[in-house]
């Protein structure tokens, strides 16, 4: 293939979505591409939702996908199990009502776990691409765990999306690691270097169907930053500026990571306010969001490494219109590379992630409201919090219009322990927990709670301090 507009190589048979759906067995484990709400298949999941057969599918993705999967398949009663992350209200309700079984996992290890059969025998991978040949494909707007999924599955269905530029191949760095114990270190020497190929290669015997689609992604719709978001961004900026002056690992280069979502995007947008002097600033994270486009255009960011172009529709149009220029600065990798603990440590990443709530000891709940109702999943937050050179939790101090404190005596569900991060930022300030004892941590975290809840939190701390032990605990701890 030489023409950049060519999508499907000569000799590769094309079929319709309904025929491709027949390649999926009624109780299959279905591996779908997609991460950050982009790069997921549309037509085949839609056909599966409309299938006359009584399906009981296990659906596995790398990250968040669109409504064709997590709305339509659920509403049709065709999905029995879901792994390991979702973002849609329909799938969320079904999981919380236990109509769909769900299991949450750290992203960095998930590709290996799928290849090892931890979630069942992978039957078919349904993958979105911008081009395909008899033994290769070019991913679309995300990579996620696509290489691991294609390697694990017995059968492969490829959707070729003509709404996305074939030139996306210039941002891809596809690299499949050997499974342990035959695994070598990832040979990546600098954050935006490349070690793989723009193409994902596969056994041609696996390819059972190719489907054409012209349907765009259903990506994030970022809300306007709230006053709390803006103040959190200001507090984070002030902290980072001080850290740049004192931290010897940040004198020449700083690698940053932000969690996905509206708050993360708002925090990315605040980067332009930071005085980085002569330092090289690089994004090394999981998702590439709209705020990073601004940072690249302003010349503040020298490059970005991620696994997904989790952009808004406007952001996608902006990138697609100038993809060749952005390809010089942006690289997409498989999620087990973008979230790899050794690389996060190697590059000294400063990671900023959020949480549902955090307790006075520093433990964070990132996934379950009230400790029981799932929101989305842990995603890559644990990969970065635990392995970053400096892990930061940023969150508003309250929820429900100010009626509920997000700083609590003890979180009802723990995703990140007090050992996994070093700093907490709210709109009321920064709690630097490095070197602090449990009793000291409690005081520092209370200081960044909403003023309306500090008196109750201080009363709890005083009761806890009356008891012996390294970690002061009061037996009447409340989860609110």
Catalytic residues: 286
Sign of the Cα torsion 129, 130, 132, 136 reads negative
* Cα 108 from Cα 114, distance rounded (Å): 12
Number of H helices, E strands in the chain: 17, 24
Q: Which residue do the tokens 């602090």 mark? A: 436
Query: By three-state DSSP, how is residue 210 classified?
Result: strand
Are 335 and 307 a contacting pair, CB within 8 Å?
A: yes
Q: Which residue has the tokens 């090289």?
A: 280
- Compute φ and ψ for 347, nearest 5 degrees: -95, 0
Nearest CA to 121 out of 249, 27, 224 is that of 27
Partners of 213 in beta bridges:
161
CA nearest to 22, candidates 162, 124, 167: 124
Closest CA to 133 of 52, 50, 199: 199
DSSP assigned state of 412: S
The first and second tokens of residue 412, run together, are 């009802």
Residues ≥6 apart with Cβ < 8 Å to 385? 351, 353, 364, 391, 393, 416, 420, 421
436-442: long-range contacts at Cβ-Cβ below 8 A with a sequence spacing of 24 or more? 437/470, 438/361, 438/470, 438/471, 438/472, 439/465, 439/472, 441/360, 441/361, 441/362, 442/360, 442/361, 442/472
């Amino acid at each position: 293939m030489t023409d950049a507009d060519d999508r499907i190589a000569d000799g590769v048979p094309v079929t319709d979505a309904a025929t491709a759906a027949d390649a999926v067995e009624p109780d299959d484990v279905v591996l779908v591409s997609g991460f950050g709400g982009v790069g997921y298949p549309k037509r085949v999941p839609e056909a599966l939702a409309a299938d006359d057969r009584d399906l009981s599918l296990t659906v596995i993705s790398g990250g968040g996908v669109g409504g064709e999967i997590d709305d339509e398949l659920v509403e049709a009663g065709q999905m029995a199990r879901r792994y390991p992350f979702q973002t849609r209200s329909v799938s969320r309700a079904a999981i919380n009502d236990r109509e769909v079984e769900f299991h949450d996992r750290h992203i960095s290890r998930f590709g290996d776990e799928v290849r090892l059969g931890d979630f069942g025998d992978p039957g078919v991978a349904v993958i979105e691409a911008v081009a395909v040949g008899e033994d290769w494909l070019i991913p679309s707007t995300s990579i996620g765990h696509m290489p691991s999924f294609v390697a694990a599955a017995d059968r492969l269905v490829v959707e070729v999306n003509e709404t996305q530029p074939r030139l996306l191949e210039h941002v891809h760095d596809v690299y499949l690691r050997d499974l342990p114990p035959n695994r070598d270190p990832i040979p990546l020497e600098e954050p935006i270097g490349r070690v793989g190929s723009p193409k994902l290669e596969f056994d041609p015997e696996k390819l059972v169907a190719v489907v054409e689609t012209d349907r765009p992604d259903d990506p994030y719709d970022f809300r306007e930053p709230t006053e709390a978001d803006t103040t959190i961004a200001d507090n984070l900026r002030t902290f980072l500026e001080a850290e740049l002056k004192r931290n010897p690992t940040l004198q020449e280069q700083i690698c940053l990571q932000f969690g996905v979502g509206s708050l993360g995007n708002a925090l990315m947008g605040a980067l332009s306010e930071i005085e980085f002097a002569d330092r090289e600033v690089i994004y090394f994270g999981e998702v590439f969001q709209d705020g990073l486009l601004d940072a690249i255009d302003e010349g503040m960011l020298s490059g970005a490494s991620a696994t997904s172009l989790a952009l808004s529709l406007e952001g996608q149009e902006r990138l697609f219109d100038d993809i060749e220029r952005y390809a010089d600065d942006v690289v997409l990798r498989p999620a087990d590379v973008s979230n790899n603990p050794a690389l996060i440590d190697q590059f000294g990443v400063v990671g900023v992630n959020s949480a549902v709530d955090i307790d006075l000891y520093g433990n964070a709940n990132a996934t379950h409201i009230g400790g029981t109702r799932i929101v989305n999943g842990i995603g890559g937050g644990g990969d970065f919090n635990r392995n970053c050179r400096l892990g930061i939790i940023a969150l508003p101090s309250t929820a429900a219009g100010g009626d509920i404190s997000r700083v609590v005596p003890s979180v009802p569900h723990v995703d990140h322990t007090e050992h996994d991060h070093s700093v907490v930022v709210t709109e009321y300030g920064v709690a630097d927990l490095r070197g602090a004892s449990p009793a000291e941590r409690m005081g520092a975290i209370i200081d960044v709670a909403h003023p309306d809840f500090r008196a109750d939190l201080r009363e709890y701390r005083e009761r806890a301090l009356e008891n012996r032990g390294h970690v002061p605990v009061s037996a009447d701890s409340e989860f609110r």
